Amino acid sequence: MHHVAFYDLDRTVTRLPTWFAFLVSSAPRWRVAFLPAMAGMWLAYTLGLIRRDRLKELMHRLMLGGAVRGDRMAALAERFADRTFNRNIRPGAPLRIAGDRAEGYRVVLATAAHRFYAEALARRLGITDVVATDASVNAAGAILHRLAGPNLYGPAKLAAVEAWLRAGGIERGAARLRFYTDHVSDAPCLNFVDEPFAVNPHRRLRALASACGWPVLDWRPAAAAQGL
* Domain range annotation of the chain: 2-225
Q: Is 7:93 a contact under the CB 8 Å cutoff?
A: yes
Q: Which pLDDT belongs to residue 212?
A: 97
Which CATH number is 2-225's, of 3.40.50.10860, 3.40.50.2300, 1.10.3470.10, 3.40.50.1000? 3.40.50.1000
Q: Model confidence over 78-91: pLDDT tens digits? A: 999 999 999 999 99
What average pLDDT does range 98-103 have in this prediction? 97
Q: Which pLDDT belongs to residue 215?
A: 97
Instruction: Indicate the pTM of the whole model.
Output: 0.94
Q: Model confidence over 6-25: pLDDT tens digits? A: 999 999 999 999 999 999 99
Q: Model confidence over 114-164: pLDDT tens digits? A: 999 999 999 999 999 999 999 999 999 999 999 999 999 999 999 999 999
